[in-house]
Amino acid sequence: METFNNVPGFCPSCGSILPPLQVKGNVICHNCNQEFLPDVYSGEKTEYSIQFNTYDPSKVFNRTKRESESEEADGPVVERKCPKCGHEKMSYATLQLRSADEGQTVFFTCLKCKYKESENS
Return the SS3 of 53.
coil
- Candidates 1.10.3720.10, 3.30.479.10, 2.20.25.10, 2.40.430.10; CATH matching 64-120: 2.20.25.10
For residue range 85-95, list pLDDT tens digits in order. 999 999 998 88
Q: What is the mean pLDDT of the chain?
A: 77
37 or 41, which is more confident?
A: 37
Cβ pair 17, 24 in contact under 8 A: no
Residues 40-69 pLDDT 10s? 777 655 455 666 767 666 655 555 555 444
Q: Are 107 and 118 in contact (CB under 8 A)?
A: yes
9 vs 1: CA distance, rounded Å = 20
**End-to-end Cα separation, the chain, in angstroms:** 57
Report domain extents, the chain. Answer: 8-48, 64-120
Of 73 and 48, the structure prediction assigns the larger pLDDT to 73
pLDDT for position 110: 92
When pLDDT is cut at 50, 70 and 90, the band that residue 84 belongs to is very high
More confident residue, 87 or 13: 87
Contacts of 118 (CB under 8 A, 6+ apart): 105, 106, 107, 108
